[in-house]
């Protein structure tokens, strides 16, 4: 997941949850949290419990996120966020808690006094995790046109440029999808699987090589022992589980988007 994708994702997340973006550029931004968002991501329940018991004045946190430290020229102090960082994983979880699926419409300005046609898209954000003794994570944001079947990569980035609303705009014709969302989702799942098959599997081979070296060390330790103790088998199994190459695909969120 590239820095610009993380930046776009975070901006959209906070804006959709009514958090005011104070300032920033393409490499960082500062945001004023709402009370609800502070409670969800700041992990300070005792502070809020104290305020509620004493009728105190709430002061939700103000955060600065640095999404591209390498290209940041200003002297900005903030929290560096990258793919796999605890804060980003926390916001992924908050997205799930707040609602995994949405249905939104592009805002339309009626300047021609004619009805605007909106086309349905299914958009899904996937997280692919590669596990062994080391972990690598990738984000794939995909969209599919439910009329034509056209696919789009980096769908979330494209979506971030569109002014969306949860209310159906007036003077629009919202086309009924031809491809059912469930079928479209199956197609997107296949696309993600193709990405995985085409991906470099060096990480798995390297994990296997490290497992082999550690297994040799273990065998050397028990060399000459005819009746190996029970702990030997436990250690062999633990090594195998530690280095075993596994891939996990998760849907972070998704939705139906009606757009021009």
- What per-residue confidence (pLDDT) applies to 152? 95
- Contact between 84 and 216 (Cβ < 8 Å): no
Q: What is the pLDDT of residue 137?
A: 84
181 within 8 A of 32, measured Cβ to Cβ: no
DSSP readout, 31-71? Answer: EEPPHHHHHHHS--HHHHHHHHHHTPPP---EEEEES-GGG
**Residue pointed to by tokens 């990569």:** 153
Mean pLDDT (the chain, rounded): 88
Closest CA to 115 of 162, 65, 172, 60: 172
Please report, rounded to a whole number, the percentage of residues in the chain having pLDDT higher than 70.
Answer: 97
pTM metric for this prediction? 0.67
Question: Quick check: 223 pLDDT over 90?
Answer: no
Whether domain 1-99 has CATH 3.30.70: the reply is no
- For the stretch 2-32, pLDDT in tens is 788 889 889 888 988 889 999 999 899 999 9
Residue 112 pLDDT class (50, 70, 90 cuts): low
Helix (H, G, I), strand (E, B), or coil: what is residue 141?
Answer: strand
Confidence band, pLDDT 50/70/90 cuts, at residue 38: very high
* Rounded mean pLDDT, 110-126: 85
Helix axes 3-16, 86-98, angle to 10 degrees: 40
Residue 92 has pLDDT above 90, yes or no: no
Q: Where are the domains of the chain?
A: 1-99, 100-260
What average pLDDT does this structure show over 41-48? 90
């Amino acid at each position: 997941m590239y820095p610009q994708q993380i930046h776009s994702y975070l901006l959209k997340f906070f804006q959709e949850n009514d958090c005011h973006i104070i300032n920033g550029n393409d490499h960082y931004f500062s945001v004023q949290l709402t009370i609800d968002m502070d409670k969800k991501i700041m992990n300070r329940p005792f502070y809020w419990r104290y305020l509620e018991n004493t009728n105190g004045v709430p002061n939700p946190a103000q955060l600065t996120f640095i999404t591209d430290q390498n290209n940041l020229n200003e002297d900005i102090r903030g929290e560096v966020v990258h793919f796999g960082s605890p804060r980003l994983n926390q916001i992924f979880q908050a997205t799930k808690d707040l609602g995994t699926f949405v249905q939104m419409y592009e805002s339309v300005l009626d300047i021609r006094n004619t009805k605007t046609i909106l086309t349905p898209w299914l958009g899904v954000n996937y997280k692919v995790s590669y596990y062994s003794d080391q972990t690598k994570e990738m984000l794939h944001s995909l969209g599919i046109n439910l009329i034509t079947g056209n696919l789009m990569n980096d769908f979330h980035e494209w979506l971030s440029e569109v002014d969306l609303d949860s209310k159906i705009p007036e003077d629009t014709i919202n086309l009924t999808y031809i491809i059912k969302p469930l079928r479209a989702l199956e197609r997107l799942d296949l696309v993600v699987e193709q990405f995985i098959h085409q991906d470099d599997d060096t990480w798995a081979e390297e994990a296997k090589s490290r497992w082999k070296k550690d297994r040799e060390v273990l065998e050397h330790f028990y060399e000459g022992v005819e009746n190996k103790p029970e702990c030997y088998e436990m250690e062999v199994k633990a090594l195998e589980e530690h280095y075993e190459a596994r891939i996990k695909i998760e849907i972070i969120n998704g939705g139906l988007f009606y757009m021009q």
